[in-house]
Amino acid sequence: MRHLIDFTDLSEREWQHIYRRFEEIYEHPGDYRDALRGQTLASLFYEPSTRTRLSFEAAMLKLGGGVFGFSDPAASSVSKGETLKDTVIMTSGYANVLTLRHPREGAAMAASLYSSVPVINAGDGGHCHPTQTLTDLVTLRRLRGSVEGLRVCVCGDLKYGRTAHSLLRALARFEGIRAVLVSAPELSLPEYVKRTCGAIKLDEQPDLRTAIGDVDVLYMTRLQRERFRDPAEYERLKGRYTLTPEILSGAPSDLLVMHPLPRAGEISEAVDGDPRAVYFQQARYGMFARMALLLELCSLPPFAVKEAEPQGVHRCDNGSCITKTEPYLPVFEGSACRYCEQQNN
Amino acid sequence: MRHLIDFTDLSEREWQHIYRRFEEIYEHPGDYRDALRGQTLASLFYEPSTRTRLSFEAAMLKLGGGVFGFSDPAASSVSKGETLKDTVIMTSGYANVLTLRHPREGAAMAASLYSSVPVINAGDGGHCHPTQTLTDLVTLRRLRGSVEGLRVCVCGDLKYGRTAHSLLRALARFEGIRAVLVSAPELSLPEYVKRTCGAIKLDEQPDLRTAIGDVDVLYMTRLQRERFRDPAEYERLKGRYTLTPEILSGAPSDLLVMHPLPRAGEISEAVDGDPRAVYFQQARYGMFARMALLLELCSLPPFAVKEAEPQGVHRCDNGSCITKTEPYLPVFEGSACRYCEQQNN
Amino acid sequence: MRHLIDFTDLSEREWQHIYRRFEEIYEHPGDYRDALRGQTLASLFYEPSTRTRLSFEAAMLKLGGGVFGFSDPAASSVSKGETLKDTVIMTSGYANVLTLRHPREGAAMAASLYSSVPVINAGDGGHCHPTQTLTDLVTLRRLRGSVEGLRVCVCGDLKYGRTAHSLLRALARFEGIRAVLVSAPELSLPEYVKRTCGAIKLDEQPDLRTAIGDVDVLYMTRLQRERFRDPAEYERLKGRYTLTPEILSGAPSDLLVMHPLPRAGEISEAVDGDPRAVYFQQARYGMFARMALLLELCSLPPFAVKEAEPQGVHRCDNGSCITKTEPYLPVFEGSACRYCEQQNN
């Protein structure tokens, strides 16, 4: 791994290594407080975030490193029209590692073409959010001992929800996973994602109470207003599934209730006191997982940036792909866009 | 003390301890530059600030700690509608101490219900600003040797001014204090605040020059546009009292002129060169006082969050109370709101 | 040097010293990672920036120091109308060094009257940007071994471009410099700047390809929309000069192509792969140069602020001078404004 654009950029061996490092840091954080002294993280957030941005900042600070960057592009040269390429080249010249959140799919892949240091995708539009998946897997393994054989219910926005897609794709690498999918019909898991789920046994169940009667994990997701083209559709679908103590009452006593957060009503506050509610602990594990990841990436030897040679032409159909706003990006022949991975129609 | 919501959360012993620590740090700052290495402050500012926010940031950095957070809620998940509760639980999972500034009264109390680390109120609406009071008392003691027996003139907005209220309430714990109150009649010190002033001998004097003829301290306050419901009233009252060299000419040569800052015309720039003007030194002491406070709070043993059980119903009359925007907060029986402390009519 | 307002505040000896320190830090950055431990930089950015602000932040962090400040004045007490003077006095009480970027000319000089720590001008309107010049000279010396005798082509906005003016003024201190000026007639180098160019042999050449046929350095500059009073004039002139591989093809093989960045079309992305394109390396050197500068300024002994006595009256004709918005600033007799240095008509 040189850059972390998609969770699958981590090999099996790297996942094992990062997990073990996570455990060491979680149990002995004081031992790591100077680990990245003198090193810096460039935090480039082109759209709002609390959790991911602050999680990375806290992680780097607790390793003794420093953080600089922007979280409001209006207050930076970006408002003077600077390209993503130039911003990435410049900041990677100042830092040891870069995190990038961007509203357009493919932005992290684009950044990785120009950065002289490792790039971590902190979320690129509706495409990937690999450190959320890392957080999720670390939580599952920490609280269950192992990810193998888990029965996972995923509920909410399975159509646009990048965290749901990424989690399922990552779980596909483990043995014996069963997934129960709960969503409105309009928001069901798309075929192209099902194809990436490998050997996972997928079932669909419209009723949440029934679905969680016999699973190990309930993973709730938020409908993200910002991903819906049609606001009326968002309004119509958003309240469909809400987890309440009543619905939870029929679930196994050792169920893990997870949520990437922020939540917007799909888990009632009344659930927070239930010992099965682990979403806040999940966020905390995420900070330690990011510490392990930063330690790993900051210890890679330096590498030379090799500018990609364009090979043919690919006209991406995705209106929110990074190639629409950064026209200098080299494009490549193929049925799928190299950046946002969307298949052409 | 576990959280610092109101200055009175500090016991007499804690005040003495923090003052001594302030002195040590002020005199030997180099000795403390690694004191909080590996620790972090979560700085959650839901409304603009320079002084308080930067004072805390500088304080934590000079102790070798790190700072993360937000100062523009529009650039965070808050703009996705995340509750104060969720933001506090999440950030307290990443940090060792939390500072919170919020436009609504009671926000810091609300945060303390959910935070797993100490919460410092950096200002909650018109309610409290305990570290400003800490700054003020430290300044008085440092420059006068002792707070006992001081004669203090407080001038400006005594009706809405939280720093004036908090200062008087804190001074009430010392012996022999005399206070001279100078304000427009519409902005006089409310009865409910007078009742908290204990043994302080209170006088009212409409003329500023007369009032400062025989006092040790003049504490000027700004009329805060953002606390006035009626902008026309603000405009009418704001210029009533301005400290000029001319007015100062009749005051004792050892008078201390203080102001919480920022100022907006109530102290003329021409006063700045007068040796009695100590408001900038006051701000500087405030940073060292915050260092002492952070050191104290970051050395407390960890504690478990116990979610408060609601007891009855209290319908708060304060339209800007935190309970209006965070409806999940448990409420309690009583004539005063548990959060903003406002008495019902 | 106590403050760095203009590059010429650096004596010849200080320039030599800072350059040597730059080299040491560039070659052994690990040796400096604790150099400024316990010290802080107050970063006061009143207008957007990426490069300069992040360059300073990264520089301070890599020296083991801390950074606090604001980059969006709307989120600070400035929005409560706080004067520049009060903000500077307050933040200089918290920090060891201050960087200031401000849209009005003369702001950095104004700040230096009140700051109790060294002030670094990070750009004051159209006036000066001394650390850009420091970056440029460090780059020239590092890549050419010496600044003496260089033949430099400067292209773009020579009328409003502060980086071009400052570079030429700084080059005037070296022996044997020749400058070829390339611009639209409307944007030619003003007479008052030519007068500050000392012994530099100046030529004007409207054709870029011809101009770079026989020079050592091509320094491209951006037309800055924000400096033009007339937007139509900006639109008309902005595309006049664009560096392409075609134009570059006739230039010497050891030409250095430099640009202060951000760029907005005046250097085609197709040039980036050319070994002569050094603008990104230039930005990286700039961070190390800022490290050397910070180290230098943070080791100065403390000094007392002496408030300037106004001497007479000077009515500045520059509508964007800092004196227009900070009316308390002392003014001085003379034909040029003490702050923005503009000559009266």
pLDDT digit string (tens) for C75-121?
555 655 789 999 999 999 999 999 999 999 999 999 999 999 999 99
Q: What is the pLDDT of residue C77?
A: 55
The answer to whether the Cβ–Cβ distance between B74 and A72 falls below 8 Å is: yes
Confidence (pLDDT) at B270: 92
Distance CA C266, CA A171 (A): 48
Q: What is d(CA C289, CA A93) in angstroms, rounded to the nearest whole number?
A: 13
Q: Chains touching chain B at 3 or more Cβ pairs under 8 angstroms?
A: A, C
Write the CA distances from B7 to A125, A235, B265, integer angstroms: 45, 45, 28
ipTM: 0.92
Tell me what percent of the residues of chain C surpass a pLDDT of 70: 95
Kindly tell me if the per-residue pLDDT of B313 is higher than 70. Answer: no
Domain B7-125+286-297 has CATH 3.40.920.10: no
Q: How far is CA B184 from CA B164, B166, B169, B211, in A?
A: 15, 19, 21, 14
Residues C110, C315: Cα–Cα separation, whole Å: 16
Question: pLDDT of B110-132, one tens digit each?
Answer: 999 999 999 999 999 888 999 99
C-alpha dist (Å) from residue B124 to B4, B133, B187, B341, C316: 12, 14, 20, 12, 43
Segments making up each domain of chain A, as ranges: 7-125+286-297, 130-276
Query: Which chains touch A (3+ CB pairs under 8 A)?
Result: B, C
Cβ–Cβ under 8 Å, residues A124 and A322: yes
Predicted local confidence at residue A306, as pLDDT: 75
The pLDDT of residue C65 is 97
Chain A residues at the C interface, defined by Cβ less than 8 Å, are: 37-38, 40, 42, 65-70, 72, 74-83, 85-87, 89-91, 93-95, 307, 328
Residue A80 to residues A2, A74, A83, C51, C242, Cα–Cα distance (Å): 30, 9, 9, 12, 18
Please answer yes or no on whether A264 and B81 come within 8 Å at the CB atom. yes
Q: Which residue in the set C38, C66, C76 is minimally distant from B50, CB to CB?
A: C76
| Per-residue model confidence (pLDDT) at position C80 | 59
Residue B47: burial class (beta carbons within 10 Å; 0-12, 13-18, 19+) = middle
Residues of chain C neighbouring B64 (CB-CB closer than 8 A): 37-38
Q: Using an 8 Å CB-CB cutoff, list chain B residues near A40.
A: none
Q: Are strands A217-220 and B178-182 parallel, antiparallel or unpaired?
A: unpaired
DSSP type of residue B308? P
- Kindly report, residue by residue over C319-336, the tens digit of the pLDDT: 999 999 998 898 887 888
| Distance in angstroms (rounded) separating the CA atoms of residues B56 and B50 | 10
C61–A81: do the CB atoms touch at under 8 Å? Answer: no
pLDDT value, residue A41:
98
Instruction: Quickly name the fold that domain B130-276 has.
Output: Rossmann fold (3.40.50)
B54 and C94 Cβ atoms separated by less than 8 Å: yes
Report the run of H or E that residue C133 belongs to, with start and end. helix C130-144
Look at residue B229 in the predicted model and tell me its pLDDT: 80
Distance, CA of A161 to chain centre: 10
Mean of pLDDT over chain B:
92
Size of interface A-C (CB pairs under 8 A): 88
Among chain A residues, CA nearest to C65: A66
Tell me the average pLDDT across C145-163. 95
> Which of C80, C94, C307 has its CB closest to that of B262?
C80
The pLDDT, as a whole number, for residue A305 is 84
| pLDDT tens digit sequence for B1-44 | 899 999 999 999 999 999 999 999 999 999 999 999 999 999 99
Q: Residues of chain A whose pLDDT is less than 70?
A: 73-80, 307-313, 345
How many Å apart are CA B171 and CA B32, to the nearest integer?
Answer: 30
Whether residue C287 and residue A94 make contact (CB cut-off 8 A), yes or no, is: yes
B contacts of C80 (beta carbons < 8 Å): 48, 225, 262, 264
**Residue among C70, C86, C94 minimizing CB distance to B287:** C94
Q: Output C231 or C210, whichever has higher pLDDT.
A: C210
- Do B256 and B167 form a contact (C-beta atoms < 8 A)? no
Backbone angles phi, psi at B302, to 5 degrees: -60, 155
**Option in B48, B49, B62 nearest C38 (CB):** B62
Q: What mean pLDDT is predicted for residues B201-208?
A: 96
Contact indicator for C325, C85 with CB cutoff of 8 Å: no
Which residues of C are less than 8 Å from B280 in CB distance? 89-90, 93
At B305 the pLDDT is 84
* Segments in A83-150 forming alpha helices (H): 84-92, 107-112, 130-144
Distance CA B285, CA B82 (A): 36
What was the pLDDT predicted at A73?
A: 67
Which range, of B104-113, C104-113, C162-171, C222-231, averages the lowest pLDDT? Answer: C222-231
- Asked if the domains B7-125+286-297 and B130-276 are classified in one and the same CATH topology, the answer is yes
| Cβ contact B206:B44 at 8 Å | no
What pLDDT is attached to residue A157?
93
Q: Closest Cα to residue A340, out of A325, A293, A217, B33?
A: A325
Which residue does chain A place closest to B308, by CA atoms?
A273
> What's the CA gap between A46 and A125, in Å, rounded?
10
What gap in Å lies between CA A181 and CA A125, rounded to an integer? 23
Phi, psi (degrees; rounded to nearest 5) at A217? -140, 135
Cβ distance C280 to A82 less than 8 Å, yes or no, reads no
Of A30, A58, A261, the CB nearest to B95: A58
Are C98 and C44 contacting, i.e. CB atoms less than 8 angstroms apart? yes
Q: Which alpha helices (DSSP H) does C215-303 contain, by range?
A: 231-237, 245-248, 279-298
Nearest to B76 among A34, A48, A272 (CB): A48
Nearest to A40 by CA among C28, C341, C54: C54
CB contact under 8 A, C81 and B262: yes
Q: Which residues of C touch B272 (CB under 8 A)?
A: 307
| Closest residue on chain C to B66 (Cα) | C66
Terminal alpha carbon distance of chain B: 31
A144-203 pLDDT, tens per residue? 999 999 999 999 999 988 899 999 999 999 999 999 999 999 999 999 899 989 899 999
Beta pairing class for B97-102 and B119-124: parallel
Angle at A186 between CA A185 and CA A188, to 5 degrees: 60
Outline where A172-227 has alpha helix (H): 191-194, 208-211
